[in-house]
Amino acid sequence: MVDYSKWKNIEISDDEDDTHPNIDTPSLFRWRHQARVERMEEMDKEKEAMKKKRQSIQARLLGVKERISKKDGDEAALKKELEKIENEGKELDRVENDMLKKEKKTPWNVDTISKPGFEKTVINKKAGRKPDENLSEEQREQRMKQFVKENEKLCKQYGMLRKYDDSKRFLQEHLQLVCDETANYLVIWSINLEMEEKHDLMAHVAHQCICMQYILELAKQLDVDPRACVSSFFSKIQSCLPEYRQQFESEIKGFKERIQKRAQEKIQEALAQAEEEERQERMGPGGLDPADVFESLPDELKACFESRDIELLQKTIAAMPVDVAKHHMKRCVDSGLWVPNAADMQQADEAEGAATADEGGASVEKTDDAKSESAKEEPIYTGVSTEDVD
């Protein structure tokens, strides 16, 4: 049978209503509380004094017993001293018992009615954000390459996930992915997918990229490590208000538009680079593009090159003003559209036994008049002598 009698005598100083109207109740409660605190402090002092006295008696008792065992001094006096100390101990025991009885009779109050079950509290603090490192562009690029080399497969696995719970679980298992490098990799991957015209896959990877960027932004706002924000973000996004969801979807839409724009720019840059490389390959010895030079020629010269008619070219050059003819033919040579002295080169090759007719340009057979003239002055263009130009 449970004894509830101990709950009948409880001292409460601040919840009594049976006070006289002429007495200031708050002051009365304050006085009662102060008197109770003083009594408890006095009792604690008595306990502390008795504890010190107990330690002193035990030390003296051990010292006398040791002297008796070593026969150090008058044995009768030592025994008398030992008896005196033991009597003091018994008296102290009696005083302690009286104090315990008195303490048991003392009414319980708010400070003694219960005791704390534990006195140690451990608070797990989230790790703070690492300060931004002052790295050069080369160092950032090197760190990005190292990260991709070690985590590219995991980044792609995260980018292919569709459910929030799966993404949350995956990131918690691979916390090294919660960083700016992952977001940058997903951006680059999204652009490449859009350039490959994989629009649906790009949209999905863009969604995962925005999730990562939101986690990083949340960490900045709370000034904590991004890895500590994974759980809170996915919990919030699944039970968020419509306004928050609308803002999130709007951010994804804007991000996809930026990805599409950047993909088109990169395609145009790639085409321009390919055209430039092709143009560089076509460049002649003088640094001119034969296609551009051909388009700038008069129609009569275009007809000569298209038909590869040397005689028609000679007649056309002869009919043109000297300055104009020299200008056009020089541009043809600089662009590689026309190779001068091709006939002389052919004769030299035939003398060596290597037949390379028409290599790199149109070869022609010079007339006897042109050969005799070449002894005086070297021809400027194959099939067209200085006499023809004049």
Q: What is the mean pLDDT of residues 188-212?
A: 92
Asked which of 2-11, 97-106, 274-283 is least confident by mean pLDDT, the reply is 2-11
Query: So what's the pLDDT on residue 176?
Result: 92
Query: So what's the pLDDT on residue 118?
Result: 67
Closest CA to 35 of 11, 52, 16, 17: 11
| pLDDT of residue 353 exceeding 60 | no
| pLDDT of residue 285 exceeding 70 | no
Assigned token pair, 296: 């700038």
Work out the angle at residue 367's Cα, subtended by the Cα atoms of residues 365 and 373, and round it to the nearest 5 degrees. Answer: 115
Q: What is the mean pLDDT of residues 174-202?
A: 92
Query: So what's the pLDDT on residue 286?
Result: 62
- Give the separation between CA 315 and CA 103, rounded to whole angstroms: 136
Hey, where are the domains in the chain?
A: 9-104, 139-279, 290-335
Q: Residue 259: what residue type?
A: I
Assigned token pair, 285: 């010895």
- For residue 215, name the pLDDT band (cuts at 50, 70, 90): very high
Are the C-beta atoms of 185 and 206 separated by less than 8 Å? no
Are the C-beta atoms of 318 and 267 separated by less than 8 Å? no
Are the C-beta atoms of 362 and 338 separated by less than 8 Å? yes
| pLDDT of residue 294 exceeding 90 | no
Query: 10 Å Cβ neighbour count for 194?
Result: 24
Q: What is the mean pLDDT of residues 347-375?
A: 40
62 has which bridge partners?
none
- Give the separation between CA 218 and CA 244, rounded to whole angstroms: 14
Asked which of 58-62, 172-176, 232-236, 321-325 is least confident by mean pLDDT, the reply is 321-325
What percentage of the chain exceeds 70 in pLDDT? 74
Query: So what's the pLDDT on residue 107?
Result: 75
Listed ranges 39-53, 271-285, 342-356, 359-373; the one with the highest mean pLDDT: 39-53
Query: So what's the pLDDT on residue 367?
Result: 34
Exposure string of 286-302, with b = 16+ CB inside 10 Å and e = fewer, is eebbbeebbeebeeebe
Closest CA to 195 of 144, 278, 268: 268
Decide: helix, strand or coil at residue 46: helix
Are the C-beta atoms of 206 and 255 separated by less than 8 Å? yes
Instruction: Tell me how many helices (H) and strands (E) the chain has.
Output: 15, 0
Q: Residue 168: what residue type?
A: K
| pLDDT of residue 378 exceeding 50 | no
- Average pLDDT, rounded, for the chain: 77
Asked which of 7-16, 59-68, 218-227, 239-248 is least confident by mean pLDDT, the reply is 7-16
The architecture that CATH gives domain 139-279 is Up-down Bundle (1.20)
- Give the separation between CA 147 and CA 153, rounded to whole angstroms: 11
The residue ranking higher by pLDDT, 211 or 327, is 211
Query: So what's the pLDDT on residue 5?
Result: 67
